[in-house]
Structures are given as structure tokens and as C-alpha cells.
């Protein structure tokens, strides 16, 4: 399961602009999720956070209950599939 718990995120170059604020999402194991929305609504930012291109400003992202920052990045990327 991937879970966003109270995630707030701002890009380092635009700290005053919150892309996500107090975001809570649970994706159960073996489930498919589609992120749909207008351009600029944060879809790519959510994926970038899961792929660890960026770290959350506040809150945490958990994989099976463990903060993804504590996981081996190579192992973690083998556990997920992302299709653009």
C-alpha cells in the first residue's frame, strides 16, 4: 500500500506555492489508480514525490507502513509501476 499522510509539498524554487496541501491518499496493494485533473493541478508532482525526485515539505509517504525515505530507492522502484 502507498499512503500519503497529510502531505504538503512546494517545489524548492517556489516555496510560497503549495502544490499539495494536507493531501491524504491510500492506494491498496494490487490496485490501479488514475490521477486525472486539469493542467497544473499537481498530478505530475504526486508522481515525482512517489518516485522520490523530491521530498515532501510536510507529512509523509508510506509504503506498507514505512516512510519511503527509509527504503532503498532501487528496491522501492522495483516494487511500483508508473505509466505516463
CATH 3.40.50.300 fits 2-79, yes or no: yes
d(CA 60, CA 52): 12
Q: Is the pTM of this model over 0.85?
A: yes
- Range with the poorest average pLDDT among 35-39, 66-70, 78-82: 78-82
- What SS3 class is residue 32? coil
Residue 53 has what pLDDT? 93
Specify whether the CB–CB gap between 2 and 50 falls below 8 A. Answer: yes
Give the model confidence (pLDDT) of 18-59 as tens digits. 999 999 999 999 898 899 999 988 899 999 999 999 999 999
Residues 6+ apart with CB under 8 A from 83: none
Residue 81 has what pLDDT? 82
d(CA 81, CA 28): 14
Amino acid at each position: 500500500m502507498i499512503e500519503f499522510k497529510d502531505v504538503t509539498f512546494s517545489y524548492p524554487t517556489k516555496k510560497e506555492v503549495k502544490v499539495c496541501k494536507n493531501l491524504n491518499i491510500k492506494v491498496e496493494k494490487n490496485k490501479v489508480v488514475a490521477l486525472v485533473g486539469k493542467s497544473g493541478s499537481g498530478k505530475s508532482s504526486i508522481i515525482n514525490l512517489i518516485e522520490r525526485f523530491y521530498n515532501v515539505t510536510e507529512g509523509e509517504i508510506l509504503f506498507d507502513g514505512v516512510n519511503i525515505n527509509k527504503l532503498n530507492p532501487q528496491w522501492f522502484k522495483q516494487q511500483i509501476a508508473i505509466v505516463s
